[in-house]
Structure 1
Amino acid sequence: MVSFYRLSAWVLVLLGVAGLAHAQPKSQILPPARDTRAVDSLRRVLAQHPRDTNGTKALVTLMFNFQYNDTAQAGSYGRQAARLATALGDRKRLARVSYNLAILAAQGGHNEESVRLHLLSGREFAALGNSLWVGHNYANAAKRRIGQGRFAEAMRLSLRGLRLRQAAHDTPSVADSYGTIGQIYLEQQNLPAAQTAYEQSLRGWQLARVPPYVVHCLNHLAIIHRDAGHFARARAYVAEGLAVVRAQPDTTANDGLLLTLAVLEQYQGHWAASLPLLRRVEAAYNRRPAGTLTPGARADLYSILGESLVQTGQAAAAAPYLTQALALARAARDRQEEADALEGLADLAAARADYRAAFAYRRDMGLVRDTLRLAATTRTVAELQTQYETERKDAQNRVQAAQLRTQQQVIRRRSVQLWAGLAIAALAAGVGYLLLSRRHLRREVEFAAEREALQQRRATAVLEAEEAERRRIGADLHDGVGQLLSVVKLNVHALGEELAPRLSPDEQRRFGDALGLVDESVGEVRDISHNLLPNALIKRGLARAVREFLDKVQQPGRLRIHLETLGLDDTRLASNTESTLYRVVQEAVQNIVKHARASEINLQLIRHAHELTLLVEDDGAGFDPAALGEGAGLGLRNMASRVAYLGGVLDVDSRPGRGTTVTATVPLPG
């Protein structure tokens, strides 16, 4: 009985702390089977000891036995154990049974109840001095918050759990915490941070020698590099994962890797190459026992498979997959998968020239995505409110503590001054003068540091808010106005085909002009949204984004632009560094185009070991920087403030008739 209890507890930790897969299935650690003889023995013990500690122990172990094959019975035993442990004051059993009830609540989709029970279990384990299990509870509560989209709270809980697990030197659980942190960053599309966290998690699982979680991390690293446009590295991670699977056969892990590889082929436009991989995953899904695969996972596969069939000209074969994907997503209330299925059906209808149906699917897809954006906004507001309340309470506590410390310091200082005055009055006066002078000087230094920090935070907040607003407006233009204009274009085109036989040549010409204007509007909206939210900057980095921007600005025969980049083609900088430098380049080049009357621009981006240098030089009219008034030079001030936000320095060298050279030097982390 004891060996089964310990084995069950270890399996519960692994299953409870397992990270959620990012839209793909992952391998599972198999739970222990029910021990029938042990169950009979435990029931006899419970009948003999219904109201003492032995009865509590029997109830907890019975719960373990039924945890994976009869959750209703397990929950019944667990609730009985919790009531008896509470009545007896048995904190050890209450802590353990609360943890297991939390896992059961999560399996039933009751995330809020699961978080409540994990925090209760954590408090009990803290009272027992077991910090490792406190960390396990924080880690699992964080996963439930991820499932609710409450990422700020999930991160706070994850970091608490990570610190406790690190203090206990428990390698598997530390690896799990880094995996959870990576998932939070991945959900928020912070790919560099997600990559760093999953690399930490991978090293931990490799040290612990747990192949299923090694494959899980390799798969997520492949997804991150795929989404970042690093296709070769993504393939390498998939290949490494497949090698681990071959050494330790695990079909579910193999399915996830194959699905990642299939989507990678789609990203590169290899639609035909993705089909055999997707067929293998489909066959594997069909072999799984009923109930082991969620409707959302099947909807995801069918949407991806249907899209590949549409793109390879197999519309008839794609239709049932996309239709089934939509039905499964709606049954599971998975709005993201529903939007993906509607988009695939819209593409299918367009391929069949059924523009009326394409319009209807696009309209429904827009409504679903609007609902998702509204839900995300609501969650963000709730998180900000919670964060505000927490920070307000912390600030009040800090103020009260500071007041208490100040009072204590005043009392001690007055006592010292009194005794010193009684001893030697002159010496006391001199010491008092020195103390007051030192205090005054220290206050001046502190005030100066606070002013400088406040100015830096203000500049940082303004630039971050500006960048966030650019991204929001770009996304709204692309997903809102852009989608609506695309639908209008499809509708006008379909209407033109219906009316063509009845229109005169002049009417057909005017109709064609109208359609051309709509098409031009679609392109304009796309260009504006890409300028606000450059796709190349997000996926391929600063050098590629700047190159694409300069290609659009260059005017053959009138304005030549030369770009030189060193040390940036195969690496990425921090996202805030890339976006800030991209805006500086935009501002500098647009100033030249508007005001300099230049015929040539030379631009250099050079990465050194610990800093990056940006140089923009033109042969235009030039100007006197010292002669600019307070109302002029707004663009230069914007560039200087952006560079200062990164801790860098901006230098402008210009004279009338001799062109302008702008140099920015930005430090990079070592």
Structure 2
Amino acid sequence: MIKIRGLMGGTLVMLALAGAAHAQPKAQILPPARDTREVDSLRRVLAQHPHDTFGTKALVTLMFNFQYNDTAQAGRYGRQAARLATAIGDRKRLARVGYNLATLAAQGGHNDESVQLHLRSAREFAALGNPLWAGHNFANAAKRRINQGRFAEAMRLSLRGLRLRQAAHDTAAVADSYGAIGQIYLEQQNLPAAQTAYEQSLRGWQQARVPAYVIHCLNHLAIIHRDAGRFARARAYVAKGLAVVRTQPDTTANDGLLLTLAVLEQHQGHWAASLPLLRRVEAAFNRRVAGNLTPGARADLYSILGESLVQTGQAAAAAPYLAQALALARSNRDLQEEADALEGLADLAAARADYRAAFAYRRDMELLRDTLRLAATTRTVAELQTQYETEQKEARNRVQAARLRTQQQVIRRRSVQLWAGLAIAALLAGVGYLLLNRRRLRREVEFAEERQALQQRRAAAVLEAEEAERRRIGADLHDGVGQLLSVVKLNVHALSEELAPRLSPDEQRRFGDALGLVDESVCEVRDISHNLLPNALIKRGLARAVREFLDKMQQPGRLRIRLETLGLDDVRLAANVESTLYRVVQEAVQNIVKHARATEINLQLIRHAHELTLLVEDNGVGFDPAALGPDAGLGLRNMASRVAYLGGALDIDSRPGHGTTVAATVPLPA
């Protein structure tokens, strides 16, 4: 008699050998060994930082070190990390430790607790803007619900995880989600849907190049085609899986495929052909990983092997396998495996002509299968009941909402009738008020425009008067004081040469000092005159004047100034624009020299089609513009007022220790 096995025939063995799909599919299959030196170092860090982020990080890492070796200690570290992360508001560590605590709960069989922790961790990761790890949490919560047989909820969680993982473009994680969806369909015997999901998962794992999970998907597809009666296609998928196994140094996955192939032989009635395959799988279990197999996986193998032994006339050899299968299934409370073992024992008793025992075994088997069908029906009914209650509640809410809307409509009609007369009167009063208010607002706007125009004219007059005064003082200095000092210099020089033969060395030195002071005064007057009335600005334009000014400000070895101009070399701007911008450059550079302690200044003058941009940057000590408040320096206020006079905008960006950037944008007339 053939037993149709959906998952136990291959999945549990495959998971035991190759590792179950995980939220991080590329993680190691074998648990990491605990690093004692790292644990000691982390404990020292925790002792030094018991109340800050470093302590939280140490606790999370300690939890991971004990997670696969001492789950109780790992749980203690995890709960301590969660409390500390909550206390200090470390949401990143809180999200991560929630994920690890959920994994620990699942390892202990506490599926409901694991689901709640995964959902809480998902919310934290979503708040942190990490949709991928939120998706990992939903995917693992779905696997816990699959273990509980709550497939409707598992499907909802799997789809949420799939959408988040797809949005993060994580190929391996998307493949993992499709694998979980395929498992849900397979548990419900929806073979076409399971096939589609596992084919999607296979393509993802092949693209991610993870051979263990490629084999996992090929094995499931073989099981699906086998149970659907497509034996040739099932055999082809097993062959593909074995070909992948041969390319890998770890050949444990070979045994899962061999078990699937053995059950396929049973389906086709080739009982003798299934025995060598099952013996190879049994030897591999005993030699390598029998201690790591779940009781359900071992019960499944012994039940399948015992069935083949019975069908090939080896009743004595079959008896201990079937007895072990029954004992393991009962110890694990696995009703499906217990029913399979009882069926094998019934066939064994019939082969021995012990029909009373065969009847008893088959009766117990039918009772168990009735119990399984009832449990499945109960779960379905519970889900339908929940859905029905939800729909009923929504229907009651809709009825109540409809009644409320009707009452509100009646109230609104009466209110409309009540307020209609008042509204008309209020409308008339409002129209009159609006007309008066509109007239008042128009006058206020006109006054505001006049005030703004007056302020602009005042600012323009002040700046023009200031520029005119600068020109007058510069001209007076150059033509008056400068000329007089030049004459004094010539006379002193002539007198020095005339009296030189009669002067003592000390008197000659004093004449020389006087002549040097006069010469220095002439240079100083000339510099002041040129600053007040730049000759280059008048004759050659803004770019040349700025370049000459910066050449004078250069301090070799102490201050380097770079100038970049674009669109200004052969173009003259309006006189007021050139003079105003020149003063802004003067003020900005002199402020840097006086206060910034900078070693570099970068200055840009760029002319666009309809505006001109000035940018002055330095690497000095910087300052906080907001801290100046109303007491800002006169230089900054002068620059702002000059740029505003031209209709432009001035922006100052500075922080202590990060230099200063002054940017001005001035519109240009067509």
TM-score bracket relative to the smaller structure: 0.5 to 0.7
State the partner residue of 1:25. Answer: 14
Map 1:226-237 onto structure 2 (within 5 A): 226-237=226-237
CA displacement at 1:408 relative to structure 2: 13
Counterparts of 2:390 and 2:407, CA distance in 1: 26
Quick one: structure 1 residues 191 and 107, their matched pair in 2 at CA, closer, same or farther if it must change by over 3 Å?
same
Counterparts of 1:400 and 1:137, CA distance in 2: 38
State the partner residue of 2:386. Answer: 386
Per-residue CA deviations over 1:37-65 (Å, capped at 9, x if unaligned) read: 22111100111111222111110111111
Contact 1:258 1:278 (C-alpha < 8 Å) held by counterparts: yes
Map 1:56-95 onto structure 2 (within 5 A): 56-95=56-95
State the partner residue of 2:294. Answer: 294
State the partner residue of 1:39. Answer: 39
State the partner residue of 1:239. Answer: 239
CA displacement at 1:171 relative to structure 2: 0.6
Contact 1:22 1:183 (C-alpha < 8 Å) held by counterparts: no
Quick one: structure 1 residues 368 and 208, their matched pair in 2 at CA, closer, same or farther if it must change by over 3 Å?
same
CA displacement at 1:76 relative to structure 2: 1.2
State the partner residue of 2:540. Answer: none
Map 1:19-418 onto structure 2 (within 5 A): 22-26=11-15, 27-28=18-19, 29-289=29-289, 291-391=291-391
Quick one: structure 1 residues 141 and 348, their matched pair in 2 at CA, closer, same or farther if it must change by over 3 Å?
same
Counterparts of 1:124 and 1:62, CA distance in 2: 21
CA displacement at 1:92 relative to structure 2: 1.4
CA displacement at 1:343 relative to structure 2: 0.4
Counterparts of 1:102 and 1:216, CA distance in 2: 24
Contact 1:342 1:362 (C-alpha < 8 Å) held by counterparts: yes
- Code of the residue aligned with 2:219 in structure 1: it is N
Per-residue CA deviations over 1:326-377 (Å, capped at 9, x if unaligned) read: 1111111111000000000000110111111101111111121122122212
Counterparts of 1:215 and 1:334, CA distance in 2: 26
Contact 1:20 1:143 (C-alpha < 8 Å) held by counterparts: no
Counterparts of 1:148 and 1:56, CA distance in 2: 33
Counterparts of 1:325 and 1:287, CA distance in 2: 19
Worse-superposed segment, 328-337 or 369-378: 369-378
- Code of the residue aligned with 2:14 in structure 1: it is P
CA displacement at 1:125 relative to structure 2: 1.3
Per-residue CA deviations over 1:198-219 (Å, capped at 9, x if unaligned) read: 0000000000001111000000
Quick one: structure 1 residues 54 and 311, their matched pair in 2 at CA, closer, same or farther if it must change by over 3 Å?
same
Counterparts of 1:260 and 1:69, CA distance in 2: 32
Per-residue CA deviations over 1:52-110 (Å, capped at 9, x if unaligned) read: 22111110111111112221211111111111112222221111111111111111111
Contact 1:25 1:297 (C-alpha < 8 Å) held by counterparts: no
Contact 2:10 2:256 (C-alpha < 8 Å) held by counterparts: no
- Code of the residue aligned with 1:202 in structure 2: it is L
Contact 2:46 2:54 (C-alpha < 8 Å) held by counterparts: yes
Per-residue CA deviations over 1:236-292 (Å, capped at 9, x if unaligned) read: 100100111110133331111010000000000000000000000000111234641
Counterparts of 1:85 and 1:209, CA distance in 2: 37
- Code of the residue aligned with 2:45 in structure 1: it is V
Counterparts of 1:81 and 1:340, CA distance in 2: 45
Contact 1:95 1:122 (C-alpha < 8 Å) held by counterparts: yes
Quick one: structure 1 residues 394 and 154, their matched pair in 2 at CA, closer, same or farther if it must change by over 3 Å?
farther
Aligned residues: 400
Contact 2:118 2:138 (C-alpha < 8 Å) held by counterparts: yes
Counterparts of 1:278 and 1:93, CA distance in 2: 47
- Code of the residue aligned with 1:209 in structure 2: it is R
Counterparts of 1:386 and 1:395, CA distance in 2: 14
State the partner residue of 2:613. Answer: none
CA displacement at 1:394 relative to structure 2: 6.0
Per-residue CA deviations over 1:267-318 (Å, capped at 9, x if unaligned) read: 0000000000000000011123464101111110011000100101111111
Counterparts of 2:395 and 2:64, CA distance in 1: 44
State the partner residue of 2:455. Answer: none
Quick one: structure 1 residues 104 and 391, their matched pair in 2 at CA, closer, same or farther if it must change by over 3 Å?
farther
Per-residue CA deviations over 1:542-581 (Å, capped at 9, x if unaligned) read: xxxxxxxxxxxxxxxxxxxxxxxxxxxxxxxxxxxxxxxx
Q: What SS does structure 1 have at the residue aligned with 2:214?
A: helix
Contact 1:226 1:234 (C-alpha < 8 Å) held by counterparts: yes
Contact 2:132 2:168 (C-alpha < 8 Å) held by counterparts: yes
Counterparts of 1:120 and 1:333, CA distance in 2: 30
Contact 1:155 1:184 (C-alpha < 8 Å) held by counterparts: yes
Counterparts of 2:334 and 2:210, CA distance in 1: 31
CA displacement at 1:233 relative to structure 2: 0.5
Quick one: structure 1 residues 251 and 404, their matched pair in 2 at CA, closer, same or farther if it must change by over 3 Å?
farther
TM-score of the aligned structures, taking structure 2 as reference length: 0.56
State the partner residue of 1:528. Answer: none
Counterparts of 1:363 and 1:140, CA distance in 2: 38
Counterparts of 2:31 and 2:367, CA distance in 1: 42
Quick one: structure 1 residues 402 and 283, their matched pair in 2 at CA, closer, same or farther if it must change by over 3 Å?
farther
State the partner residue of 1:449. Answer: none
Map 1:619-630 onto structure 2 (within 5 A): none
Map 1:431-470 onto structure 2 (within 5 A): none
Contact 1:24 1:256 (C-alpha < 8 Å) held by counterparts: yes
- Code of the residue aligned with 2:128 in structure 1: it is L
Counterparts of 2:111 and 2:190, CA distance in 1: 25
- Code of the residue aligned with 1:238 in structure 2: it is V
Q: In structure 1, list runs of 5 or more residues that go unmatched.
A: 1-18, 423-670
- Code of the residue aligned with 1:24 in structure 2: it is V
Counterparts of 2:171 and 2:294, CA distance in 1: 30
Identity of aligned residues (%): 87
CA RMSD of aligned residues (A): 2.9
Map 1:584-663 onto structure 2 (within 5 A): none
Counterparts of 1:57 and 1:303, CA distance in 2: 48
Worse-superposed segment, 336-345 or 83-92: 83-92
Per-residue CA deviations over 1:156-212 (Å, capped at 9, x if unaligned) read: 111111111111111111101110110000000000000000000000000000111
Contact 2:125 2:131 (C-alpha < 8 Å) held by counterparts: yes
Quick one: structure 1 residues 171 and 315, their matched pair in 2 at CA, closer, same or farther if it must change by over 3 Å?
same
